[in-house]
Amino acid sequence: MKFQKNFKLYILGLFLCFNFLIWYGVLAEERKELIVAFLDVGQGDAIFIEAPSGKQVLIDGGQNRQFISKLSEVMPFYDRSIDMVVLTHPDEDHVGGLPSVLENYTVDFVLEPGVNSDNATYIKFEDLIKEKGIEKVLARQGMSICLDNLPGTKSLSDCGVLLEVLFPNQDASEFDTNLASVVLKLTNGDNSFLFTGDSPKSIEKYLVDVLGDNLDVDVLKLGHHGSKTSNSDLFLGFTSPEYAIASVGLNNSYGHPHKEVLDLLEKFGVNLLRTDEEGTIIFKSDGVSDLKVGSL
């Protein structure tokens, strides 16, 4: 009798295992799209990217350690690693939650502009990079990172999801922190995104001079939370986004996004999505069709 009972339990266990594997397979199979999530972190920036290959990139980490709970809303609970963390610049509303990320997740690379800062959170972040032996790369114009091959190919030269560094173009150690912001372009076939940190108008002008029509994207994260010190008429014209994201806190004391920028977005017919109104904003891209957008 005991044998029979154990045998039944054994069959039941086996059945549950198969069931789990099948569902796991179905769910994994569904993730053929690139995911770009603009996390609702109040007055700050944090963007989570996951390529169909499973490669994950985090750009900035919100204002403080509470960021971790926002991150866990877009990552499976069992996933404790992130391939690359990008710090656009070391101001508190961008670096805030990154020490907690390094404490809680395995990170392979950190990409940052290399600008000097005495912000205590940034110093803690740098200490953790050394302590954990994480590879640190200084972002420079011309670098590119392939996050996925083209469908059906294995060679990295056939890159399907490409992350390119557009700025800094030189040693940025003595720059003002906003000026040093890492600017990144992400391309997946016909879909593209531009992440500008808190880059001011002078850098936007430089990017237009150097890259011109190559700045054209579908989604633009507005510079400096939609401040009028960024997001010039010229830059919005060249980037010509379908969607603009304002990563802002509700009723923030800076008045972001500024009215001047809202007027320009209207002039160019750009759809504005704000994290203080939508919460976390998630784009799904298959590289061919129009982007799908939703929120959490």
Using CB under 5 A, which of the segments 20-28, 144-152, 194-202, 276-284 binds Zn ion?
194-202
Q: Which string of DSSP letters, residue by residue, matches 240-282? A: --SEEEE---TT-TT-SSPHHHHHHHHHHTPEEEEHHHHSSEE
SS3 47: strand
Q: Terminal CA-to-CA distance of the chain, rounded, Å?
A: 52
Cβ of residue 160: shortest distance to Zn ion, in angstroms? 31
Residue from 33, 83, 148, 198 in contact with Zn ion (CB under 5 A): 198
- Going 223 to 225 to 229 to 234, the CA torsion angle's sign is positive
| Residue 246 Cβ vs Zn ion, minimum distance, rounded to whole Å | 12
Provide the residue count of the chain.
296
| 40 vs 93, beta carbon nearer Zn ion | 93
User: In the complex with Zn ion, which residue's Cβ is closer, 185 or 256?
Assistant: 256
Q: How far is the CB of 22 from Zn ion (least distance, A)?
A: 45
Q: Indicate the pairing of strand 81-86 with strand 106-112.
A: parallel
**Shortest Cβ 17–Zn ion spacing (Å):** 47
Each residue 208-247 as x (binds Zn ion by CB under 5 A) or -, in order, gives ----------------------------------------
Q: Which is nearer to Zn ion, 55 or 256 (CB)?
A: 256
Judged by beta carbon, residue 95 or residue 110, the one nearer Zn ion is: 95
Distance CA 250, CA 62 (A): 14
Of 198, 135, 199, 195, give the one whose Cα is nearest residue 163: 195
> How remote is the C-alpha of 161 from its chain's centroid?
13
User: Of 52 and 197, which CB lies nearer to Zn ion in the complex structure?
Assistant: 197
Residue among 164 and 198 whose Cβ is closer to Zn ion: 198
**Rounded distance between C-alpha atoms, residue 101 and residue 90, angstroms:** 15
How many positions of this chain bind Zn ion (CB under 5 A)? 2
* DSSP state letter for 150: P
In the complex, what is the shortest distance from the CB of residue 46 to Zn ion, in angstroms, rounded to a whole number? 11
CA distances from 290 to 27, 45, 164, 219, 293 (A): 22, 25, 22, 12, 10
CA count, 13 A, side-chain hemisphere, 296: 16
Q: How near is the Cβ of 178 to Zn ion at its closest, in Å?
A: 8
Return the structure tokens found at 124: 């803690």
Among residues 50, 49, 58, the alpha carbon closest in space to that of 28 is found at 50
Cβ closest to Zn ion, residue 93 vs residue 218: 93
Binding marks (x or -) toward Zn ion, 62..101, rule CB under 5 A?
A: -------------------------------x--------
Give the nearest distance from C-beta 92 to Zn ion in angstroms: 8
Beta carbon nearer to Zn ion, 61 or 287: 61
Site for Zn ion in 132-151 (CB under 5 A): none
Smallest distance, Zn ion to C-beta of residue 167, A: 16
Q: Which residues between 266 and 295 bind Zn ion (CB under 5 A)?
A: none
Residues that bind Zn ion (CB under 5 A): 93, 198
